[in-house]
Amino acid sequence: MTSTHTDLPVAQFLGGDWVDSATTMPVHNPATGAQIATVADGDEATAIAALDAAAAAQADWAGTDPRHRSDILLRAFGLLHAETDRIARTITLEMGKPLAEARGEVGYGAEFLRWFAEEATRGSGAYFRAPSGGGRIAVRKQPVGPVFAITPWNFPLAMVTRKVAPALAAGCTVVLKPAPQTPLTALEFMRILVEAGVPPGVVNCVTTSRAPLVSAPIIADRRLRKLTFTGSTAVGRTLLTQAAQGVLRVSMELGGNAPFVVLESADLDKAVGGAVLAKLRNAGQACVAADRFLVHEALAAEFTERFLAAVSALPLGDGLDRSTRLGPVIDGAAVRRITALIDEAVDGGAHLHTVGPDIDRPGHFVRPAVLTDVDTRSRLWSSEVFGPVAAIRTFTDPAQALHLANDTDAGLAGYVFGENLGDTLEFAENLRTGMVGVNTGVISDPAAPFGGMKSSGLGREGGSTGLAEYQEMQYLAIAR
Ligand code: NAD
């Protein structure tokens, strides 16, 4: 197994050892299409070896002092910061986002380590007299047990730390299966955890191109107690069905289809700035990306013109080039999928405003596009876009905008812009989404509960609830 770029780890990480595999898989740079590494391609045997290691380490890890676990997480936080340049470069190489965004992801991803290092030491429980007077009620928290974490490619570090940090803080051991497109960052993070002092078996990483083959036996194993998944809603549904057999604790962070609402009282500078961030960060490949723009009729022409101008000013290219502000999408299939969404919407009567010249370079690039008069029945409107394409509709009545905003099975993020505080907050409170940006296009914060309503998921990551997702409550009924 090899990496053509740096001394990146390319073997699997099982029970504290770097383990080679007979079968390998390639990793590509989406900005060039070039193969950058060959990594281990795990199978059923690797999956069970990883779970064996996690199960064997569980009792000892659960028995460590919270302060000890906290110190390890804080060391990992420091190490990640110290290696920002290297990790950011790895993220950009395998995923494509511009280096500045990759550095931002390292900061954001590392912050979960610090947050949960702090949360680990905040013991909580209860001890009180039973209302009937017959005895005492004591409630304690304990780790739920070995965790299986499956992560997507769009935030190769942050989606991993958002799960691994609270699991470790709570005293759970982990088997991680990163996305096949982005195994290198996950393996780098394993190296950092070892350096920080995580003992063998406590964290294990199986890289594989055969997700169902590796995941099914782990989920079916009675030693596993928790499944945490971030990815598409379709795969989430499949995994929920599998998890039902073992009645596993589950956390599901699934797809979104975020509305971005510009009320009549909005400040257009804020709204356009927020729209650029909420739509184009990560080339639109974020679960919280704004998809459906609902703009008040009175502001629509100016909003669209200024948004187009702002998008045109973003240099598109290889994320490793420091001037790039907009990188490629993940692969050729994504280019074809996004292009089809645009074509179908245009066939359905939408007006297309493209930005910049045709792209004539290798790699998986999509020219940013803004579409107006988009039919609500089009897939561009009704499904998650996951690309640098904005669909705009106008409204005059805020009640109509609210109806359209909520008229979807997804309920992850929403955005509302308005300077009339009362109306704007009321609109935000009525959005059926787990998170709402009010006059901001950036909502992710490790200290806040991240997650969705409706088919966008179950549970919350980050915040103080993020730790509880990895804890089990035990109640002791104490006789008088
Ligand atoms: P995906 O569902 O295709 O893959 C996610 C992960 O699941 C990958 O590791 C993949 O290998 C694995 N996987 C795929 N099929 C599997 C199966 N049958 N059994 C077990 N594992 C399987 O999603 P993706 O394309 O990697 O990521 C994009 C999706 O993730 C988008 O829908 C996006 O909205 C969502 N996402 C959600 C959040 C959130 O917090 N809600 C955050 C980031 C991404």
* Residue 434, C-beta contacts closer than 8 angstroms, at least 6 positions apart: 411, 412, 413, 449, 450, 451, 452, 453, 456, 457, 460
Residues lining ligand 1, Cβ inside 6 A: 150-154, 159, 177, 179-180, 211-212, 215, 230-232, 235, 238-239, 253-256, 287, 384, 386, 412, 452, 457
Of 178 and 1, which is predicted with more confidence? Answer: 178
pLDDT of 344 > 70? The answer is: yes
Tokens of 13: 């990480």
Under the banding of pLDDT at 50, 70 and 90, the label for residue 354 is confident
pLDDT higher than threshold 80 for residue 283: yes
Q: If you average pLDDT over residues 378-401, what whole number do you get?
A: 97
* Cα 452 to ligand 1 centre (Å): 15
Query: Could you list the active site residues?
Result: 253, 287
Alpha-carbon gap, residue 176 to 185, rounded angstroms: 12
157, 230, 281: residue to mutate for ligand 1 pocket, most atoms within 8 A of CB:
230
* CA angle in degrees (0–180, nearest 5) for 192-194-196: 70
Above 90 in pLDDT, residue 62?
yes
Mean pLDDT (whole number) for 246-253? 98
Cα(235) to ligand 1 centroid in Å equals: 7
pLDDT at 423: 98
Domains of the chain, each with CATH number or no CATH: 12-254+455-479 (3.40.605.10), 258-445 (3.40.309.10)
Per DSSP (E only), the strands in 34-129 are: 35-40, 126-129
Task: Report CA(212)–ligand 1 centroid distance (Å).
Answer: 12
Express as a percent the part of the chain with pLDDT over 70: 98
For helices 99-120 and 66-82, give the axis angle rounded to 10 degrees: 170
At 9, the pLDDT band (50, 70, 90 cuts) reads: confident
**Concatenated DSSP letters of 141-181:** EEE---EEEE--SSSTTHHHHHHHHHHHHHT--EEEE--TT
476 has pLDDT over 90: yes
pLDDT tens digits for range 17-44 = 999 988 999 999 999 999 999 999 999 9
Range 443-457 average pLDDT: 97
User: For 358-386, how does the pLDDT look when each residue is reduced to its tens digit (9 = 90+)?
Assistant: 788 899 999 999 999 999 999 999 999 99
Strand 258-262 with 290-296, pairing:
parallel
